[in-house]
Structure 1
Amino acid sequence: MTTDRPEIREIITKAVCGQGTYKYQRSIDLEIPSDHKSIQVLGNFISSAALDDAAVISKPPVSGKVVQVKGHYNVHVWYAYDQETCAAKTTVNFIEHIPVKTLGKESAANMQAVAKILEKPKCRKAYVKNKGDTAVIRVEIEQLLAAEVIGTTKVKVGVMQPVSASVATVKGRELLPPPKPVPGSLSPVQGNYFDLKCEEDLPDDDEDFDDYLDDYSF
């Protein structure tokens, strides 16, 4: 029996080294012309959400890796004033930091970040707020982001030497194929006696069944 062990080799490959998600909330103010009075918010909508860049950075005091995500979206608000209606729009450029949980040992190199939007930004609340002598429409927004860190790392694998078709080696043990059966050596009725009876031949009561067993006992 052979005791050969598989040869261990290291493969350099790209793998996901860390993952993380982050839900952020922010408030933005849309300026309103000073001559618009008696303002009432009628509706709101957020469009064109997209991510522009993602990078792995170190951000004290957060331990471990952090992915910095840059992106933008447009905020639309429809409001009424003095028996009129108007639509306001602004573009929000944001920078968020997503803490990443490292998978396994931190031994990767040439790390790159990939980010995506899990939940598109949505408006939680929109209302009129006075700021000194002017009024603004404040919109509270939340969004869910996700990030992955991909790096070059090493993976150890076992390499088995080629073997013949008749013998295989697994964990140092030889596995032989089962012997082929000799024709005629296997028979489903060899050394057995079968008496096949139809259902209508079976007795109906217990007394007749005892007589039936006496007739067919060996």
Structure 2
Amino acid sequence: MSHTEKELSFREIITKAVCGKGRKFSQASHTISPTNKPSSILGCWIINHKYEAEKKGDVIEVRGSYDANIWFSYSNNTKTDVATETITYTDVVPLTMQDKNVLSDDLEVIARAIQQPNTLEATIAPNGKSVIVQVEREFLVEVIGETKVCVYVNPDGCVDDLDDKSWDYDIEDEDFEDLDPNFLMGDLEE
């Protein structure tokens, strides 16, 4: 085989592919001060989570916000209220897999919250006036970019390994002899 024939057996294809990946689990504590001094914590929910991601050097910055809603009692457990605070955060996600052969700087960043922010614990702070909320979240990020892949090209073109006979499913009358005609009917005499 000549050098030219060998070169023709491969093609370089330019395509979009995942050229970077990363994952980050985070825990954070937030101190929230309700208008009334809490007697007990009745519940805490995280809602309205919003985020966006951007590549910054060799990392992805995920910036977002969510609302922490704390349901608590006050006045010696005689009244209840809900304190709401919007919390902002920035998670720096390192890229553990990164393809250095990306052809352009036109990259797309995809971030998915594989663990939406949720409350681990909400407790009254030692000062008795604030609530400490512990929150966890986890992100998976991917960087999509243009890259080059090399594929083998069969010089004979597409070869069908199966001939037409292997797809022939003709059924003969003998194939039906052992079938039980009452199989789907079950035992009707019960």
- Identify which of 79, 83, 90 aligns with 1:88: 83
| C-alpha distance in structure 2 between counterparts of 1:93 and 1:160, whole Å | 55
Superposed CA offset, 1:166-197 (max 9, x none): xx7xxxxxxxx9xxxxxxxxxxxxxxxxxxxx
| C-alpha distance in structure 2 between counterparts of 1:38 and 1:44, whole Å | 13
Superposed CA offset, 1:69-90 (max 9, x none): 1122111111011121111111
Aligned to 1:69: 62
Q: Kindly provide the amino acid, as one letter, of the partner of residue 94 in structure 1.
A: Y
Superposed CA offset, 1:38-62 (max 9, x none): 62111111112222x211112xxxx
Instruction: Spell out the pairing of 1:1-218 with structure 2 (5 A cutoff).
Output: 4-5=5-6, 6-33=8-35, 36-37=36-37, 39-51=39-51, 53-58=52-57, 65-82=58-75, 83-103=78-98, 105-108=99-102, 109-110=104-105, 111-131=107-127, 135-161=129-155
| C-alpha distance in structure 1 between counterparts of 2:150 and 2:122, whole Å | 55
Structure 1: 5+ residue stretches without partners: 59-64, 169-176, 178-218
Structure 2: 5+ residue stretches without partners: 164-190
How far has the Cα of 1:120 moved from its partner? Answer: 1.2
Structural RMSD (CA): 2.6
Q: Kindly provide the amino acid, as one letter, of the partner of residue 149 in structure 1.
A: V
Superposed CA offset, 1:75-128 (max 9, x none): 11110111211111111121111111225x411132321101101111111111
Superposed CA offset, 1:13-68 (max 9, x none): 110012111110111111122xx3462111111112222x211112xxxxxx2111
TM-score if structure 2 supplies the norm length? 0.71
Residues paired across the two proteins, number: 154
Q: Kindly provide the amino acid, as one letter, of the partner of residue 41 in structure 1.
A: I
Bigger-Rg structure (1/2) = 1
Superposed CA offset, 1:114-157 (max 9, x none): 101101111111111145xx721110000111100111111112
> Percent of aligned positions with the same letter in both sequences?
27
Say if 2:38 and 2:72, in contact at 8 Å, map to a contact too. no
TM-score if structure 1 supplies the norm length? 0.63
How far has the Cα of 1:162 moved from its partner? Answer: 5.7
